[in-house]
Amino acid sequence: MRTPKYLLFHQVLEWCNKIRTERGKEPLDALPKGKRNDGNSCPCGTATGIFVGCMGWAETKHNYDNHINSKRNVSAVAEFVPRFDSGEFPELEL
Residue ranges of domains in the chain: 5-89
The pLDDT, as a whole number, for residue 82 is 96
Higher pLDDT, 81 or 55: 81
Tens-place pLDDT, residues 31-55: 999 999 999 999 999 999 999 998 8
The answer for residues whose C-beta is within 8 angstroms of residue 8's C-beta and 6 or more apart is 76, 79, 80, 83
pTM: 0.91
The amino acid that residue 2 corresponds to is R
For the cut 90, the answer to whether the pLDDT of residue 23 exceeds it is yes
Question: Dihedral through CA 6, CA 37, CA 44, CA 84, nearest 10?
Answer: 0
The pLDDT value recorded for residue 90 is 98
Interior angle at CA 11, CA 44 and CA 49, nearest 5 = 20
Checking if the pLDDT of 69 tops 70, the result is no
In DSSP terms, which residues pair with 57 in a beta bridge?
Answer: 52, 71
Residue 67's pLDDT band (cuts 50, 70, 90): low
- pLDDT above 70 (res 88): yes
